[in-house]
């Protein structure tokens, strides 16, 4: 079968989407962007390939008589375990590196003590995460390896001797970057077999029909017929020029594919905000991008999360619990941090401060939207920041306030719009 | 890399070198010097008094091209000028503070008169107020040009300008030069200007051809425009444009594109009209971003800042003073927004452009305002793809290559997509959800 690949190498996340010959998405992959773009691309692409195999397996099994087997549940369970095994392999690689670096410490007494501590905590680092993967509470599409590992690791070392805390943090910092930038290949068939072993007893894993279809899928070639790379780092992708396309066009095309009536697309990514006007064919008619300053983009949220010692994922839900929005007037990320601390000193609820910060981001984005010609008709919000429910809330409010009641689209796949657009462009090339 | 030279370019270089030489020798020759601005310049009047013109904004852009502006701007900022002040002004002030060394390495003379023709840019007034402090002995002549609020040149406005010229400007020139005003001499110069204006328009209009034999933006400011401002009213200026037109006609006959720093531009792919000045500190890099993609500018507004001749206006001796007044009124910077939009629309249509670009200037508070309205209006009127980038005149801190390239890549791909997309059956499937 013909498949097409789109890669969106963003400043914060790298995304991959695989579509079939009909333009249907069959696989999605995402990872955090790191200094080695090739590795980030490879991971996102591998994830999308694995996800595609599961989608195709699902399609095949759906057409088979299922008897008493619930294919949906079975494949879901299998993919969850598959994700866990990928995580586990990376986990051991990182742990080895941490041990290796601990052994290299010049102070041998310290080194021995640290190794003892690491041995003590190592098993606990994996068990809780394993349960979350297997229950489907988390997946590699929703969480990144480094975040999962560091959360567990920091939690574990906090309960140990405080005298070694800084050294243990430094060991993690020293180890994560080289490990993250290493190429690590997984064999789908091998991991799938291992994942089957982890399935519950009654999961019909020995069902002949299931085995036969899985083997067919394992042997399928996932070589794309064509591919296109886009995003902020597109020039750094190991692709030839004809396989590179502007993210403006790709985002517009992706948004149009989901919502053909959309005429204005707002994309807020890690360091870019883009206001794009499109015609009824998904072709861009004009666009505006933020210049020189990335305040109001995803990185701003990351900075605020760091300032408040919480994860980026917690920002939106907290802001949704506000009583009102504290007035944040700064349009600079760093100064907004100062305003945040001032409010905290004054005893303001952090929910209200966060609500104010979220509103400030949206106000900035709307200034850009106004420059691009405003919201002309159905409006689609895309990019990583559109996963934040508080931002979505203020975007919806401001569209209505400024442009009236218009249809507003925000799809769970919105972070993949650029990669989807890229895949669609590649599928349409002659 | 040395730019490919044609006869006109060699002549231009020669003329400019001679002029700067003349400027450096005023102590010996006793010639008087007028500092004035490009928009609304009264070059013919200055030459009619045998004086020499100096254009501060041209000095600034030259400093930008010679990588000196960063230092000059810092000098001005040290003095207290804010980051937001027009970088032409700061560069000019900084250059003066550092000894007023011109582009040829020779010192520029101090002004004997500061002639401010106020044509729309409100910074000009403040600029000359500051120059007055630097050159307290210089005479000041202020020629106030009413903005074309109504969209046409009102008779009362022409009278108002004529009165200022007769009662204030010309007497001050007589005083500074020590010469009696000779209206016939001015008339001769204005008639020579009209000849150069005819040739200039013929050259600009050669962009109607495909491929365009000229780049009306980079080439426009590099070799088409400069002579015009500095030498209008001189025989040499007419000669220059005759030579240039010959070269342009040769390119038309041989289907050659414009000359870029890397030779004739081949494979014209995009025909653009642009609003806003170019960036000078990275002039060649900036130009290369376009010609590498097969993009040629067939029309630009910046080349009309020193005067608009597209709608038939010509200087002339029939009523010399009125002619100068009407010229000042018609400058691009003195036109209201709808007039400017109409002019750009005429360029887009006349030169068959398929894209419109705005290069907005970070430190320009006067003319960057309104550009988004221009852009949106043209997009609606003509359904033409539009693009927007930001650079600066001569402040290199505001030239971000990767950001500009990123936006231009998207702009060109957008144009490409619009040119090559055949609306038909191959519209994407609406439903891509699994």
Contacts of A248 in chain B (CB under 8 A): 410, 413-414
Q: Is residue A199 situated within a structural domain?
A: no
Q: What is the rounded CA–CA span in Å between residue A339 and residue A329?
A: 9
Using only C-alpha atoms, chain B has a radius of gyration, in whole angstroms, of 22
Q: What is the rounded CA–CA span in Å between residue B166 and residue B183?
A: 11
Residue A22 to residue B406, Cβ atoms within 8 A: no
Would you mind telling me the total number of residues written for chain A in this entry? 430
pLDDT tier at A292 (50, 70, 90 boundaries)?
low
Q: Is the pLDDT of residue B432 over 60?
A: no
- My answer on whether A308 and A321 are in the same domain is yes
Q: Which of residues 313-372 of B touch A (CB under 8 A)?
A: 372
Of the candidates B119, B147, B94, the residue with the CA atom closest to the CA atom of residue B37: B119
User: What local confidence, expressed as pLDDT, does residue B86 receive?
Assistant: 93
Q: What is the rounded CA–CA span in Å between residue B392 and residue A126?
A: 54
Token pair in block for residue B326 = 């009407």
- The string of pLDDT tens digits covering residues A273-290 is 999 999 888 889 889 987
Test the A interface: residue of B400, B414, B421 with most A CBs within 10 Å: B414
- The string of pLDDT tens digits covering residues B306-349 is 999 999 999 999 999 999 999 999 999 999 999 999 999 999 99
Residue A292 to residue B423, Cβ atoms within 8 A: no
Residue A303 structural domain: 260-410
Residue A23 to residue B403, Cβ atoms within 8 A: no
Question: Average pLDDT, whole number, for chain B?
Answer: 91
Q: Which residue has the higher pLDDT, B268 or B383?
A: B268
Q: Nearest by CB to B376, from A257, A260, A373: name it.
A: A373
Q: Nearest by CB to A245, from B407, B413, B429: name it.
A: B413
User: In Å, how far is A216's CA from the nearest CA of chain B?
Assistant: 20
- My answer on whether A389 and A265 are in the same domain is yes
Q: What is the rounded CA–CA span in Å between residue B312 and residue B81?
A: 41
Give the angle A260-A263-A266 at the CA atoms, nearest 5°.
105
User: What local confidence, expressed as pLDDT, does residue A204 receive?
Assistant: 67
Q: What is the rounded CA–CA span in Å between residue B204 and residue B224?
A: 9
Token pair in block for residue B434 = 């699994």
- My answer on whether A136 and A276 are in the same domain is no
- My answer on whether A270 and A355 are in the same domain is yes
Chain-centre distance for alpha carbon A58: 23
pLDDT tier at B427 (50, 70, 90 boundaries)?
very low
pLDDT tier at B1 (50, 70, 90 boundaries)?
very low
**Quick one: closest CA in A to B382, which residue?**
A285
Chain-centre distance for alpha carbon A103: 34
Q: Is the pLDDT of residue B71 over 70?
A: yes
Contacts of B432 in chain A (CB under 8 A): 19, 23-25, 257-258, 420, 424
Of the candidates A421, A430, A425, A359, the residue with the CA atom closest to the CA atom of residue A396: A359
**Quick one: closest CA in A to B403, which residue?**
A291
Q: Is the pLDDT of residue B381 over 80?
A: yes
pLDDT tier at B429 (50, 70, 90 boundaries)?
very low
Q: What is the 3-state secondary structure (H, E, C) of chain A?
A: CCEEEEEEECCCEEEEEEEECCCCEEEEEEEECCCCHHHHHHHHHHHHHHHHHHHHHHHHHHCCCCCCCCHHHHHHHHHHHHHHHHHHHHHHHHHHHHHHHHHCCCCHHHHHHHHHHHHHHHHHHHHHHHHHHHHCCCCCCCCCHHHHHHHHHHHHHHCCCHHHHHHHHHHHHHHHHHHHCCCCCCCHHHHHHHHHHCCCCCCCCCCHHHHHHHHHHHHCCCCCCEEEEECCCHHHCCCCHHHECCHHHHHHHHHHHHCCCCCEEEEECCCCEEEEEECCCCCEEEEEECCCCCCCCHHHHHHHHHHHCCCHHHHHHHHHCCCCCCCCCCCCHHHHHHHHHHHHHCCCCHHHHHHHHHHHHHHHHHHHHHHCCCCCCCEEEECHHHHCHHHHHHHHHHHHHHHCCCCEECCCCHHHHHHHHHHHHHHCCC
A-B CB pairs within 8 A amount to 84
User: What local confidence, expressed as pLDDT, does residue B423 receive?
Assistant: 41
- My answer on whether A61 and A87 are in the same domain is no
Q: What is the rounded CA–CA span in Å between residue B152 and residue B17?
A: 39
- My answer on whether A395 and A299 are in the same domain is yes
Q: Is residue A246 situated within a structural domain?
A: yes
CATH number at residue A378: 3.30.420.40
User: What local confidence, expressed as pLDDT, does residue A334 receive?
Assistant: 76
Q: Is residue A189 situated within a structural domain?
A: no
- My answer on whether A304 and A422 are in the same domain is no
Q: Is the pLDDT of residue B422 over 60?
A: no
- My answer on whether A269 and A127 are in the same domain is no
Q: How many CB atoms sit inside 10 A of residue B277's CB?
A: 25
Residue with tokens 């008339």: B187
Q: How many CB atoms sit inside 10 A of residue A216's CB?
A: 12
- The string of pLDDT tens digits covering residues A83-138 is 999 999 999 999 999 999 999 999 999 999 999 999 999 989 999 899 999 999 98
Q: Is the pLDDT of residue A293 over 80?
A: no
Q: Is the pLDDT of residue B2 over 60?
A: no
Q: Does B433 touch chain A (CB under 8 A)?
A: yes
Q: Is residue A355 situated within a structural domain?
A: yes
Q: Is residue A313 situated within a structural domain?
A: yes
Residue with tokens 């507004």: B301
Query: Averaged over B393-411, what is the pLDDT?
Result: 92
Beta pairing partners, A275: A266, A288
Contact A328, A357 (CB under 8 A): yes
Q: Is the pLDDT of residue B424 over 50?
A: no
User: What local confidence, expressed as pLDDT, does residue B425 receive?
Assistant: 36
pLDDT tier at A297 (50, 70, 90 boundaries)?
confident
Q: Rounded to 10 degrees, what is the CA torsion of B28, B127, B167, B177?
A: 0
Q: How many CB atoms sit inside 10 A of residue B116's CB?
A: 23
- My answer on whether A397 and A430 are in the same domain is no
Maximum mean pLDDT: which of A284-298, B123-137, B214-228, B349-363 = B349-363
User: What local confidence, expressed as pLDDT, does residue B322 receive?
Assistant: 97
- The string of pLDDT tens digits covering residues A224-261 is 999 999 988 777 777 888 899 999 999 999 999 999 99
Q: Is residue A30 situated within a structural domain?
A: yes
Q: Is residue A193 situated within a structural domain?
A: no
Contact B393, B279 (CB under 8 A): yes
User: In Å, how far is B389's CA from the nearest CA of chain A?
Assistant: 9
Q: Which of residues 381-400 of B touch A (CB under 8 A)?
A: 385-388, 390, 398, 400
Contacts of A60 in chain B (CB under 8 A): none
- The string of pLDDT tens digits covering residues A322-360 is 999 999 876 677 788 888 889 999 999 999 999 999 998
Token pair in block for residue B371 = 């550009």
User: What local confidence, expressed as pLDDT, does residue B273 receive?
Assistant: 98
- My answer on whether A61 and A86 are in the same domain is no
Q: Nearest by CB to B429, from A22, A245, A284: name it.
A: A22
Contact B306, B230 (CB under 8 A): no
The CA-to-CA distance between both ends of chain B, in Å, stands at 55
Beta pairing partners, B118: B144
Q: Nearest by CB to B434, from A24, A248, A284: name it.
A: A24
Contacts of B358 in chain A (CB under 8 A): none
Contacts of B376 in chain A (CB under 8 A): 373
Q: Nearest by CB to A246, from B385, B409, B431: name it.
A: B409
Pure H helices in B38-146: 43-48, 56-65, 69-78, 87-97, 123-134
**Quick one: closest CA in A to B369, which residue?**
A371
- The string of pLDDT tens digits covering residues B16-28 is 899 999 999 999 9
Domain boundaries, chain B: 1-420
| ipTM value for the complex | 0.80
- The string of pLDDT tens digits covering residues A166-209 is 999 999 999 999 999 998 889 999 999 999 989 887 666 667 78
Residue with tokens 């997946």: A139
Q: Which of residues 412-431 of B touch A (CB under 8 A)?
A: 413-414, 417-418, 421, 423, 426-431
- The string of pLDDT tens digits covering residues A368-382 is 899 888 998 899 999
Q: Which residue has the higher pLDDT, A204 or A23?
A: A23
Q: How many CB atoms sit inside 10 A of residue B376's CB?
A: 18
User: What local confidence, expressed as pLDDT, does residue B365 receive?
Assistant: 78
Q: Is residue A185 situated within a structural domain?
A: no
- My answer on whether A311 and A237 are in the same domain is no
Q: What is the rounded CA–CA span in Å between residue B92 and residue B130?
A: 11
Of the candidates B169, B200, B178, B397, the residue with the CA atom closest to the CA atom of residue B281: B397
Residue B400 to residue A291, Cβ atoms within 8 A: yes
User: What local confidence, expressed as pLDDT, does residue A68 receive?
Assistant: 67
**Quick one: closest CA in A to B388, which residue?**
A288
- The string of pLDDT tens digits covering residues B103-137 is 888 899 999 999 999 988 888 888 888 889 999 99
Of the candidates B203, B281, B188, B264, the residue with the CA atom closest to the CA atom of residue B233: B188
User: What local confidence, expressed as pLDDT, does residue A362 receive?
Assistant: 92
Question: Average pLDDT, whole number, for chain A?
Answer: 90
DSSP B324-365: HHHHHHHSGGGB-HHHHHHHHHHHHHHTT-SEEEEEEETT-T
- My answer on whether A4 and A141 are in the same domain is no
User: In Å, how far is A338's CA from the nearest CA of chain B?
Assistant: 23
Q: What is the rounded CA–CA span in Å between residue A247 and residue A250?
A: 5
- Secondary structure letter of residue B304 according to DSSP: G
Q: What is the rounded CA–CA span in Å between residue B122 and residue B364?
A: 11
User: What local confidence, expressed as pLDDT, does residue B281 receive?
Assistant: 97
Q: Is the pLDDT of residue A67 over 70?
A: no
Q: How many domains does chain A have?
A: 3
**Quick one: closest CA in B to A26, which residue?**
B434
Residue A285 to residue B385, Cβ atoms within 8 A: yes
User: What local confidence, expressed as pLDDT, does residue B330 receive?
Assistant: 95
């Amino acid at each position: 079968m013909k498949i097409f690949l789109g890669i969106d190498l963003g400043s914060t996340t790298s995304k991959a989407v695989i579509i079939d010959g009909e333009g249907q998405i069959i696989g999605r992959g995402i990872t955090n962007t790191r200094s080695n773009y090739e590795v980030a691309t490879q991971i996102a692409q591998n994830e999308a390939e694995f996800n595609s195999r599961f989608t195709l397996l699902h399609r095949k099994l759906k057409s088979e008589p299922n008897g008493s087997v619930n294919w949906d549940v079975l494949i879901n369970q299998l993919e969850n375990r598959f994700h866990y095994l990928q995580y586990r392999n990376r986990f051991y690689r990182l742990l080895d590196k941490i041990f290796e670096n601990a052994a290299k410490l010049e102070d041998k007494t310290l080194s021995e003590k640290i190794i003892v501590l690491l041995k003590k905590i190592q098993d606990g680092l994996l068990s809780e995460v394993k349960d979350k993967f297997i229950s489907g509470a988390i997946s590699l599409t929703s969480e990144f390896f480094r975040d999962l590992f560091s959360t567990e690791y920091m939690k574990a070392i906090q309960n140990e001797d405080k005298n070694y805390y800084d050294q243990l943090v430094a060991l993690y910092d020293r180890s994560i970057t080289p490990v993250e930038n290493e190429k690590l290949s997984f064999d789908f068939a091998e991991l799938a077999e291992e994942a089957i072993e982890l399935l519950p007893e009654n999961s019909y894993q020995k069902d002949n029909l299931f085995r036969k279809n899985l083997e067919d899928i394992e042997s399928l070639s996932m070589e794309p017929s064509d591919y296109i790379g886009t995003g902020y780092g597109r020039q750094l992708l190991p692709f030839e020029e004809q396989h590179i396309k502007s993210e403006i066009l790709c985002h517009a095309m992706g948004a149009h594919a989901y919502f053909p009536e959309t005429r204005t697309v707002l994309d807020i990514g890690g360091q870019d905000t883009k206001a794009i006007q499109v015609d009824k064919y998904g072709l861009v008619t004009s666009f505006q991008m933020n210049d020189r300053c990335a305040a109001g983009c995803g990185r701003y949220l990351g900075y605020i999360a760091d300032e408040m010692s919480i994860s980026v994922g917690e920002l939106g839900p907290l802001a949704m619990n506000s009583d009102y929005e504290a007035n944040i007037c700064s349009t600079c990320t760093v100064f907004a941090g100062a305003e945040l601390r001032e409010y905290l000193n004054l005893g303001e609820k952090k929910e209200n401060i966060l609500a104010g910060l979220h509103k400030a981001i949206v106000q900035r984005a709307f200034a850009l939207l106004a420059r691009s010609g405003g919201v002309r008709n159905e409006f689609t919000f895309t990019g990583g920041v559109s996963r934040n429910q508080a931002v979505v809330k203020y975007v919806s409010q401001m569209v209505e306030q400024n442009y009236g009641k218009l249809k507003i689209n925000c799809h769970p796949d919105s972070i993949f719009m650029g990669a989807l657009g890229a895949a669609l462009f590649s599928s349409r090339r002659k | 890399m040395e730019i490919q030279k044609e006869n006109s370019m060699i002549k231009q270089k020669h003329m400019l070198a001679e002029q700067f030489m003349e400027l450096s020798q005023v102590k010996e020759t006793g010639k008087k010097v007028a500092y004035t601005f490009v928009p609304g310049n009264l070059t013919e009047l200055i030459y009619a008094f045998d004086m020499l013109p100096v254009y501060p904004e041209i000095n600034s852009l030259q400093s930008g091209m010679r990588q000196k502006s960063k230092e000059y701007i810092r000098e001005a900022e040290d003095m207290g000028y804010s980051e937001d002040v027009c970088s032409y002004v700061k560069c000019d002030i900084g250059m003066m503070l550092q000894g007023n060394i011109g582009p040829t390495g020779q010192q520029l003379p101090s002004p004997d008169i500061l002639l401010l023709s106020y044509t729309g840019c409100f910074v000009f007034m403040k600029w000359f107020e500051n120059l007055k402090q630097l050159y307290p002995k210089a005479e000041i002549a202020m020629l106030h040009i009413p903005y074309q609020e109504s969209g046409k040149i009102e008779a009362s406005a022409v009278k108002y300008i004529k009165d200022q010229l007769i009662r204030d400007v010309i007497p001050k020139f007589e005083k500074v030069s020590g010469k009696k005003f000779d209206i016939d001499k001015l008339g001769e110069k204005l008639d020579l200007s009209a000849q150069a204006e005819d040739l200039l328009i013929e050259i600009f209009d050669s962009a109607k051809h495909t491929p365009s034999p000229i780049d009306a933006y980079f080439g426009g400011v590099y070799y088409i425009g400069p002579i015009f401002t500095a030498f209008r009213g001189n025989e040499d200026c007419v000669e220059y444009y005759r030579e240039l037109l010959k070269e342009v006609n040769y390119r038309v006959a041989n289907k050659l594109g414009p000359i870029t720093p890397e030779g004739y531009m081949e494979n014209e792919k995009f025909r653009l009209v642009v609003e806003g000045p170019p960036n000078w500190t990275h002039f060649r890099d900036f130009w290369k971003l376009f010609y590498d993609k097969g993009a040629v500018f067939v029309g630009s507004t910046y080349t009309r800042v020193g005067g608009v001749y597209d709608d038939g206006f010509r200087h002339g001796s029939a009523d010399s003073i009125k002619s100068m007044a009407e010229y000042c009124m018609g400058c691009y910077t003195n036109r209201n927004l709808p007039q400017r939009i109409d002019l750009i629309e005429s360029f887009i249509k006349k030169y068959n452009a398929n894209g419109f670009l705005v290069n907005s200037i970070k430190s320009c508070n006067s003319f960057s305002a309104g550009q988004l309205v221009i852009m949106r209006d043209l997009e609606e009127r003509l359904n033409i793809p539009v693009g927007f980038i930001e650079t600066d005149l001569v402040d290199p801190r505001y030239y971000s290559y990767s950001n500009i390239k990123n936006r231009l890549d998207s702009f060109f791909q957008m144009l490409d997509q619009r040119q090559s997309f055949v609306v038909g059956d191959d519209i994407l499937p609406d439903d891509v959800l699994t």
